[in-house]
Structure 1
């Protein structure tokens, strides 16, 4: 066996001690790493303050848009089709009741009406003469100066002319009606605000040609979504704002309210008539500031809502058996210091409103008074 000198042993001893200490340190680290577990919640409870979940009616103001129009208005159309031959009015023109607005081309209607009118005039003249002749013959017959045959002949002539006159009157009525159907006259005093056809164009029957706005009151038709219809009734006051006129407001009342929408998923038409003395020019954009009460909704203090990472699912923390329990929520409108929420919450449950820093799901908490 090889023997080492004392000096050699003394030279390697520090190296052996260093290696032994290093091996022990590494073994201890390995054991520590192998025995490590996820950190548990701190044993001490975190002090927090709580507030109850509340259920309340919510009042919100909605801005619904519409366009002003004259309350007294008319949309004019022909009852028959034809080519537009004349439209002597333009947008902005003032018109009087009975004034010609537009006319269709019908070369035969005018002459037919004139002929029927002349025929009726002629028959009226002849009938008047036949009445006088009959009266004269009746007098002569009473004086025995005329025969019964002459009397009957005069009566027959008078009756025939009466029948012809009645037929001519009916013909004139038909011709006049035909002529009237080719003409549109203003039913009101007002202003032309739209023209939809130009002379020479074909106009289908019933198609609007000209629209008029009469004087007097102004109204607005506004579409109301179905979730707000319970907040509308005829006669209720309405405040209208003009967004393009520095927020100027005018007042009115709901005058008409449709009980049904114009179709599935459509809006419900509501007509608001402005108060007297607050009339506006037709065609202005206005906003109806509608205060609507929503059904009872759950609300929590704004300070109770946290959003992990600033962009995660918003949540609140309930206190259940002394621990914080996370409840994801969907946020609604903010009302003062509260916010509407939807989630697995009930009115009266306690939620944490202070002490939320470093709070985690399941962490023990101590509710402060």
Structure 2
């Protein structure tokens, strides 16, 4: 049977189309790529959240043990020096005071009797009516009575002080920061009842993880920013660093003092401490998203300025920071690096560089578009 030439050529054209090579990445339209250049070591920064605290926070406790009968203040109350904060049940110390008064009265009476007896025996000794040994016994009883009177007076002073210790008073002007006991609770001598935030200097308390604490020392300069005043930063320094980790959180407490005049920070305000992590003047840094790894070897995608194609570039990195990572070797300071979507890129892929506002970036030495 006779076949049309069109039917013969159609399968041939289809087979030739199937054998043609697919479109290469270089032939595809350039995809946009967010690019950045490395920044200096000053861009490296760790951020630690903190809380505004008073520089001096004494723990207030009774000097004697007993049952708390009244609590006169609570957390947040402003107190003045000498103001009563809590009271113990004073029944026992009152009885001790009464007993001390009775002992003092008895010792005073014994002393008066011994003194009068000594006065009677002295002229008798001079006239030879009594012997010297008899007079020495009377004089010895007088000296013993005098010593007992001094002891009774000292015990009276102690009992009077103990009665005064039943009232816990504020040692300075300030604000009650914490309350650790309640009315009806039995406390021991020295057990903390309140924590007082003394008026005056303010500072920021932060917690440092144990893997980072070796980087810090007292006197290191930092920057403080209050959450209520974003963008308004204050210079500060590490004033105090705990020598041991907290047993619960396994972090090291640090206190950051403000270097300038009072900043108007209130107790309990949230703050954050920014610590510059420079590793040397020549150290570069990149955003965390710009660095990826293949079999444990970190690398970045560098854009060739002339061809606008990607080149996989191995780099040596340092310790990761909060938002950036230091690049110690393998990257030039003027290189353009892809900072997002690095996991879907390919070697030799052509891209269209843009910034974070999706605006075209003109690379140095690029041919332009």
Normalising by structure 2, what TM-score?
Answer: 0.63
**Structure 2 partner of 1:92:** 77
Q: Would you say how many aligned residue pairs link Structure 1 and Structure 2?
A: 324
**1:211 counterpart SS class:** strand
RMSD of aligned residue pairs (Cα, Å): 5.1
Cα distance in 2 for residues equivalent to 1:213 and 1:352: 52
Which stretches in structure 1 are left out of the alignment for 5+ residues?
A: 1-14, 44-52, 308-313
- Give 1:119-268 correspondences, 5 Å limit: 119-131=103-115, 133-134=117-118, 137-162=121-146, 164-165=148-149, 168=152, 171-172=155-156, 175=159, 179=163, 182-199=166-183, 201-205=184-188, 207-226=191-210, 229=213, 232-245=216-229, 248-263=232-247, 266-268=250-252
- Give 1:264-343 correspondences, 5 Å limit: 266-274=250-258, 277-278=261-262, 280=264, 282-295=266-279, 316=301, 326=312, 340=325
Deviation, 1:197, is: 4.4
Cα distance in 1 for residues equivalent to 2:322 and 2:86: 57
Cα distance in 1 for residues equivalent to 2:100 and 2:201: 44
Mean Cα deviation higher: 167-176 or 124-133: 167-176
Q: 1:290 to 1:325 in 2, by over 3 A?
A: closer
The structure 1 residue matched to 2:62, chosen from 65, 75, 78, is 78
**1:272 counterpart SS class:** strand
Deviation, 1:216, is: 3.0
Cα distance in 1 for residues equivalent to 2:139 and 2:313: 105
Q: 1:195 to 1:28 in 2, by over 3 A?
A: closer
The answer (yes or no) to whether the contact 1:70–1:282 under 8 Å persists in 2 is no
Q: Output one character per residue of 1:321-360: Cα deviation in whole Å (capped at 9) or x when no partner.
A: xx9764699998899xxx85889x8346998879xxxx95
Which stretches in structure 2 are left out of the alignment for 5+ residues?
A: 28-36, 293-298, 339-344, 351-364
Q: 1:333 to 1:95 in 2, by over 3 A?
A: closer
Q: 1:231 to 1:95 in 2, by over 3 A?
A: same
**2:86 counterpart SS class:** strand
- Is 1:64 matched up with 2:48? yes
Cα distance in 2 for residues equivalent to 1:214 and 1:348: 53
**Structure 2 partner of 1:46:** none
The answer (yes or no) to whether the contact 1:65–1:285 under 8 Å persists in 2 is no
Q: 1:340 to 1:71 in 2, by over 3 A?
A: closer
Structure with more of its chain in strand, by fraction: 1
Deviation, 1:151, is: 0.7
Q: 1:164 to 1:330 in 2, by over 3 A?
A: same
Cα distance in 1 for residues equivalent to 2:321 and 2:80: 51
Cα distance in 2 for residues equivalent to 1:298 and 1:245: 30
Normalising by structure 1, what TM-score?
Answer: 0.63
Q: Output one character per residue of 1:33-60: Cα deviation in whole Å (capped at 9) or x when no partner.
A: 67556677889xxxxxxxxx98964533
